[in-house]
Chains A and B, each alone.
Chain A
Amino acid sequence: MEPVPVSKITPSPQRVTLELPADPALLVMACRMVCLFAEMQGMGERDCQRLELAVDEICTNCITHAYNRDITKKYRVTVERSEDDFLVVRVLDHGEGFDLGDVPTPDIRCPLTDRQIGGLGLMFAVKATDELCYKRTPEGENCITMRKRISPISQVAQA
């Protein structure tokens, strides 16, 4: 008898949202929540790990850039499955608006002496997902939306 995928036998919630203070120690909760949801939807292990990296980097930007590590401020992470079988993660904060185009693209081929890490987080999130976009919501929130196709076998990420 063919094994039944977990996603077919486990009742899956439509959408899960977590609100967290801008505390580095709690960042792992956002990652775990998204990974667990992704696993429940049948996403392969390597893709779950890449999605974790993307979520971590975007939430890190919320904590460090939007809120300057002020733990009284909160950001929100929402994850859901789309009808076209993508996992969709949204990260929202109330920091100042920005333009994705203004974030410098790091030169990952330059020698050690010139090597900078700034902008690497966003680059990781772009590499680790299939789509990433930013918008400023009418409510005055920054919203980063990431989409990653749900595939039981992870595809090779492009380095």
Chain B
Amino acid sequence: MQIEASREGNVEVLEMAGRLDLAGAEVAEKFFHEFRQSLVPKTLLVVGFGKVEYISSSGLRVLLAAFKEIQSGGGTMVLCDMNVSVEEVFRFAGLDTIFRIYATKAEALDGVSAIL
């Protein structure tokens, strides 16, 4: 699991790559722990899944924890660019009704800015 962070305007962008299984979730959890320390209140975050080939409940757990934390700081987090099998896992978990999921990064950037 690799995670690349960047910034576009006032939006933080994370591009994830690889498998978000138990091992990948451990990497992501460590990353989010450090990433959260650097965030300001009302953070807008886009997480790109374009290179995520697979996700399990272990990966969902990490994303849900990050989402709750960002929301508690008055910010929000949206997801984008998922392959069909990754999106199906979100649907299995009912998380497609919790997360805003956009088809493309451009739509996600527009969408997240409009939320707050």
Q: Which residues of A contact B (CB under 8 A)?
A: 24-25, 27-28, 31, 46, 49-50, 52-53, 56-57, 60, 63-64, 106, 108-109, 112-113, 115, 117, 120-121, 123-124, 127-128, 157, 159
Contacts and interface: CB of A to CB of B under 8 A. Distances in A.
Contacts of B54: 49, 52, 56
Interface of B: 19, 21-23, 26, 54, 56-58, 60-61, 64, 67-68, 71, 84-85, 88-89, 91-95, 97-98
Nearest to A26: B23
A136 B21 CA distance: 27
Contact of A24 (B26, B60, B94, B95): B26
B67 A108 contact: no
Contacts of A57: 56-57
A120 B71 contact: no
Contacts, number: 74
A124 B56 contact: yes
Contacts of A53: 56, 89
Contacts of B94: 108-109
Nearest to B60: A117
Contact of B68 (A25, A63, A112, A120): A112
A112 to B, nearest CB: 5
A46 B85 contact: yes
- Give the dominant DSSP class at B's interface: helix
A52 B55 CA distance: 10
A60 B56 CA distance: 9
A49 B22 contact: no
Nearest to B83: A49
B62 to A, nearest CB: 9
A103 B76 CA distance: 32
B78 to A, nearest CB: 14
Nearest to A64: B22
